[in-house]
């Protein structure tokens, strides 16, 4: 024995006994991130998507036409479909019911086994969805209505509490899964109703004639919940519960999605192109494409594979773009929109103003990376290219008015591209990238290291003067803006670069713009927008965010864009000076009772200090409160101490969690549809934090 122990010690204590084997669903709880990506909000909502996807796959197979998702009290989620119902008979390999096998075993389900399996096409790549949700839930209830029976099984942290039992008869067919996420796994359990609604609306577009209902019943009382009799009813929506709800049903599928995305756009042609073709190739089950051109310069292209959104697109989009460019060029040559010696339209030319959705469904699907953000299946490229090319050629021939409008739209894009290139080349020739001096308004920093350098984009020369005097010259650069910059939402690059302020900003950044944009040449890794705390300041901030979102999106994605949070108040009590960044902070410093007696200062003329009024409170006899209306009212020392000093300042980092939703909001707020903008503002006015 001693000899064996010595041998093991020589090997560093590493032998078969050192290998730990996690059984059942233990690996999921040990490393949840491997299965759901994160234990933050994304992972929490992913639990809903996994259960929903099983129901949706039933609908994709033609076995269900209705799904209901309900948010219940105590963080329970209930998902119902009227599909075939998960089988409850004994599984010959596992020795227990098929229901228990699916919910308690990784890689078990109807998504394996090819033609003999339960699904030709599935959104689930690994077939681990239901069991993962079960493993990460403190409690799960599975109810199955099938073959005239009502069956049930409950689970605690992925383990069955009892064998599947028949609890009654049923005239329904389908599955009900109710689960409660484990608070010990997730940082916090807060479901976002709007996020769930947006995701499931998208899914409803992708499966024609599927009715999806979302109900937020989290505020129901115990009595109201008991009256629902959840175990005795199928769809809660049929009971007429008093709770917020949304229902989606689209007969037109992707055509409806394109129409929704273009609802506030001016269409270039009336008819929405659409094609759906089943089994175009042995390895691709279906190809579906819808598109329409609008009077805009931004393309909006959404891609899906087995109903999974692919934000990084993939092979199916490559096939689509190739076919789109070739087909429009062929039509333009044939109908004399392109002369013989003229250069062909480029891929960027034909994408301008295009709203399109590309969806493929495949039995054996491959994604690049675990997040399924990009489709990697090579068969998809050829299938989409073939199906779309043939159908779109026919569409152009059969709809000459639409075809003419599309051709003219592309020709305008070509002219704009050439004008933009000339303007862009001019800026690059004169810009810092080519060795010429930086803009005169820019007070640059001394450091040449982008990682430690900051650029403050400030509103007005007055604030710019204070910022230049108060900054850390080694790492902080200042670029003052004069008034409001150009709204770039619908402006082409040539028009943008004709604006002196935008041109100065582009040169200062060092990245160039458009197709020659190079993030690696960014001169500052913190771009800080510092505007006044009033309506004009908010407008300037929105204009700058629009510019970054439309033309420098990688800088947002990389986390380089920030918004400064200057204080609202300077509060002086004797020799003590405090700065308050909100009314709540002010009240905490001077006391709630002083609010009504407070006298605030008026903005001082430029170049002069504000006079501070005295106010008295019950607790402190003399308190001086200065209300800052703009950065220019602060002297250099105050601006440094409150807004620029890394040790004290507060910055908000700009992120884009939902690019498509952000795109729509920017288009609404900064676009040309006045009626829609007014409606949006009226609808969201109650959410605004007003400073009057």
Task: For 612-625, give the DSSP string.
Answer: PPEE--SS-S-EEE
Active site residue 402: no
Q: How much is the pLDDT for 614?
A: 46
Fold of 26-248: Heat Shock Protein 90 (3.30.565)
Catalytic option among 532, 633, 641, 667: 532
User: Residue 627: which of 588, 579, 589, 593 has the closest Cα?
Assistant: 579
Active site residue 667: no
Q: How much is the pLDDT for 298?
A: 85
> Which helix (H) or strand (E) element contains residue 303?
strand 300-305
User: Residue 132: which of 99, 164, 107 has the closest Cα?
Assistant: 107
Q: Which residues of 376-388 are buried (b: 16+ CB within 10 A; e: fewer)?
A: ebebbbbbbbbbb
What tokens does 392 get? 């779109």
DSSP string, 319-354: HHHHHHHHHHHHHHHHTTSS-TTSPPPPHHHHHTTE
DSSP string, 417-461: HHHHHHHHHHHHHHSGGGTPPPPTT-B--S---GGG-EEEEEESH
CA distance linking residue 375 with residue 311, whole number of Å: 10
CATH of range 254-421; options 3.40.50.2300, 3.40.50.1980, 3.30.230.10, 2.60.120.620 = 3.30.230.10
Q: Which residue ranges does the chain devote to CATH 3.30.565.10?
A: 26-248
Active site residue 613: no
Catalytic option among 219, 238, 534, 593: 534
CA distance linking residue 286 with residue 384, whole number of Å: 9
Splitting the chain (692 residues) into consecutive groups of 10 residues, what average pLDDT does each group show? Answer: 51 40 67 82 92 91 94 95 92 82 73 47 55 94 94 94 93 94 92 95 92 94 80 79 92 93 91 88 81 92 91 94 97 92 92 95 80 85 95 97 96 85 62 54 92 93 88 95 78 78 89 86 95 81 87 92 90 84 84 48 42 47 79 87 90 75 62 60 48 32
Q: Which residue ranges does the chain devote to CATH 3.30.230.10?
A: 254-421
Rounded to an integer, what is the distance from CA 23 to the centroid of its chain?
Answer: 36
CA distance linking residue 214 with residue 67, whole number of Å: 9
Q: How much is the pLDDT for 464?
A: 87
Q: Per DSSP, what are the bridge partners of residue 443?
A: 478
The number of beta carbons lying within 10 Å of the beta carbon of residue 287 is: 28
User: Residue 141: which of 168, 166, 173, 178 has the closest Cα?
Assistant: 178
Catalytic option among 536, 585, 613, 673: 536
**pTM beyond cutoff 0.75:** no
CA distance linking residue 91 with residue 372, whole number of Å: 31
3-state secondary structure of 212: strand
Active site residue 444: no
**CB-based contacts of 82: which residues, under 8 Å, 6+ apart?**
64, 65, 66, 172, 173, 174, 234, 235
What tokens does 634 get? 């602060």
CA distance linking residue 456 with residue 446, whole number of Å: 14
β-sheet with 561-564: strand ranges across: 476-481, 454-459, 526-530, 561-564, 651-653
Backbone angles phi, psi at 584, to 5 degrees: -65, -40
Catalytic option among 53, 349, 459, 641: 459
């Amino acid at each position: 024995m001693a000899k064996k122990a010595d041998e093991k010690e020589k090997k560093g204590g590493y032998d078969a006994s050192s290998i730990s084997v996690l059984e059942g669903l233990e690996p999921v709880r040990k490393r949840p991130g491997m299965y759901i990506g994160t234990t933050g909000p994304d992972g929490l909502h992913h639990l809903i998507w996994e259960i929903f996807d099983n129901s949706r796959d039933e609908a994709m197979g033609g076995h269900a036409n209705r799904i209901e998702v309900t948010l219940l009290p105590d963080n329970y989620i209930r998902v119902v479909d009227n599909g075939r119902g998960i089988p409850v008979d004994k599984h010959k390999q596992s020795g227990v019911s098929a229901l228990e096998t699916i919910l308690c075993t990784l890689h078990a389900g109807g998504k394996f086994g090819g033609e003999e399996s339960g699904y030709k096409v599935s959104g689930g790549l690994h077939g681990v969805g239901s069991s993962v949700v079960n493993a990460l839930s403190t409690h799960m209830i599975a109810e199955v209505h099938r073959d005239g029976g009502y069956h049930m099984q409950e689970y605690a942290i992925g383990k069955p509490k009892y064998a599947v039992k028949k609890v009654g008869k049923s005239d329904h067919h389908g599955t009900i899964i109710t689960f409660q996420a484990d608070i010990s796994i997730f940082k916090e359990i807060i479901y976002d109703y709007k996020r769930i609604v947006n995701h499931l609306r998208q899914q409803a577009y992708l499966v024609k004639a599927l009715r999806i209902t979302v109900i937020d019943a989290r505020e129901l009382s115990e009595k109201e919940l008991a009256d629902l009799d959840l175990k005795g009813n199928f769809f809660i929506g049929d009971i007429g519960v008093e709770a917020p709800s949304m229902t989606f049903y689209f007969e037109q599928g992707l055509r409806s999605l394109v129409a929704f995305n273009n609802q506030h756009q001016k269409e270039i042609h009336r008819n929405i192109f659409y094609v759906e073709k089943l089994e175009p190739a042995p390895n691709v089950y279906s190809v579906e494409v819808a598109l329409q051109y609008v009077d805009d310069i931004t393309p909006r292209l959404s891609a899906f594979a087995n109903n999974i959104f692919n934000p990084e697109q993939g092979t199916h989009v490559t096939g689509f773009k190739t076919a789109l460019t070739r087909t429009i060029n062929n039509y333009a040559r044939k109908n004399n929109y392109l002369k013989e010696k003229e250069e062909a339209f480029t891929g960027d030319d034909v994408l301008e103003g295009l709203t399109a959705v590309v969806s493929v469904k495949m039995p054996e699907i491959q994604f690049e990376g675990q997040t399924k953000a990009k489709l990697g299946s090579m068969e998809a490229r050829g299938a989409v290219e073939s199906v779309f090319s043939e159908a779109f050629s026919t569409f152009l021939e059969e709809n000459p008015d639409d075809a003419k409008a599309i051709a003219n739209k592309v020709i305008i894009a070509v002219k704009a591209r050439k004008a933009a290139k000339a303007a862009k080349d001019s800026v690059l020739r004169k810009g810092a990238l080519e060795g010429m001096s930086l803009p005169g308004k820019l007070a640059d920093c001394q450091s040449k290291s982008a990682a430690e350098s900051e650029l403050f984009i400030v509103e007005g020369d007055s604030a710019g003067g204070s910022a230049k005097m108060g900054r850390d010259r080694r790492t902080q650069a200042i670029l003052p803006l004069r008034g409001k910059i150009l709204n770039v939402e619908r402006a082409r690059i040539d028009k943008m670069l004709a604006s002196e302020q935008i041109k100065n900003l582009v040169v200062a950044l060092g990245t160039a713009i458009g197709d020659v944009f190079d993030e690696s040449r960014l001169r500052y890794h913190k771009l800080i927008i510092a505007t006044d705390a009033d309506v004009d300041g908010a407008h300037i901030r929105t204009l700058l965010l629009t510019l970054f979102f439309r033309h420098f999106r990688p800088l947002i994605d990389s986390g380089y864009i920030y918004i400064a949070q200057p204080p609202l108040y300077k509060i002086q009590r004797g020799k003590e000076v405090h700065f308050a960044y909100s009314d709540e902070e002010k009240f905490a410093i001077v006391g709630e009772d002083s609010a009504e007696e407070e006298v605030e200062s008026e903005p001082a003329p430029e170049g002069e200090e504000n006079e501070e009024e005295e106010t008295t409170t019950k607790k402190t006899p003399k308190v001086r409160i200065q209300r800052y209306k703009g950065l220019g009212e602060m002297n250099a020392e105050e601006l440094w101490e409150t807004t620029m000093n890394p040790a004290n300042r507060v910055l908000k980092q700009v992120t884009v969690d939902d690019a498509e939703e952000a795109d729509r909001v920017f288009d609404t707020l900064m676009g040309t549809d006045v009626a829609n903008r007014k409606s949006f503002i009226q609808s969201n006015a109650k959410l605004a934090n007003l400073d009057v």
